[in-house]
Amino acid sequence: MALRMRDKVALVLGAGSSGPGWGNGKAAAVLYAREGAKLVAVDVRAEAAAETAKIVASEGGEALALAGDVTDEAQIQAIVAETLARFGRIDVLHNNVGITDIGELEDITKERWQRVMDINLTGAMLASKAVVPAMLQQGGGAIVNISSTAAIHINDYHYYSYSASKAGLNHLTRALAIRYAKDNIRVNAIMPGLMDTPLIHRQIAGSYADTEAMIAARNARSPMGRMGDAWDVARAALFLASDEARYITGVCLPVDGGLTCLAG
């Protein structure tokens, strides 16, 4: 079977993992490379980007690791310029950076709210703004935004800024998809549901008595009786980024084991 990303260049923002194991961005970055893409792995933590690039290199792939903050427009522009200088094109922009902020409404500060918006939503806009000119010049490309089912489904977690930022990311996805459809730039989003990734152990575990209670509760809430993992998200991203999805744009795809059907 032909490699689906052969001769393509994938720029993955948030290509590291927030803890040991496989986060969504790390898995997607490695899967793009396994399917033939030249990878630019970017993370705010240089060591996390380097770890992902090292995995790709160990498997015979080509990867460039860069540190970068998606809220800093100058850094994003520099990353895009370095990617183009190294590889000459950008076929896939994968926006994976995101954080949660759990708390009651009365405890949310303007600064906390704005930080989530800057990282989860504005970062994707700045990255798209930086990459789209190159995609226009080369005749097309694909943008994959990692959203969340929290964008469309209210759950038990009190993370208002997270839900709002992901809802905004969904609409940004659709707006850009329509704007650039005639330019052969496809823009889609993935909405992970209940996933077992390092992120939940760092940012959600505090809402439960212990880790085992968290895992059991999240498994029980899924119609499939189990959480998904980073590879489920990565496989969906690979499809949307590949030419197999050449007539798909403006889609916000749940990868959630049927969870959002219950919100129906």
CA angle 7, 8, 9 (to 5 degrees): 130
- Contact in structure between 195 and 142 (CB atoms under 8 Å): no
Per DSSP, the three-state class of 33 is: helix
- Rg of the chain on CA atoms, in Å: 17
- What is the sign, positive or negative, of the torsion defined by CA atoms of 152, 215, 210, 114? negative
Cα separation of 119 and 107, whole Å?
Answer: 20
Q: Could you tell me how far CA 202 lies from the centroid of its own chain?
A: 17
Cβ-based neighbours of 109, under 8 Å, separated by 6 or more: none
Confirm whether 162 is a catalytic residue. yes
- Count CB-CB contacts under 10 A for residue 254: 21
Catalytic residue, chosen from 160, 162, 180, 208, is 162
- Contact in structure between 124 and 168 (CB atoms under 8 Å): no
Cα separation of 254 and 175, whole Å?
Answer: 18
Catalytic positions, written as ranges: 162
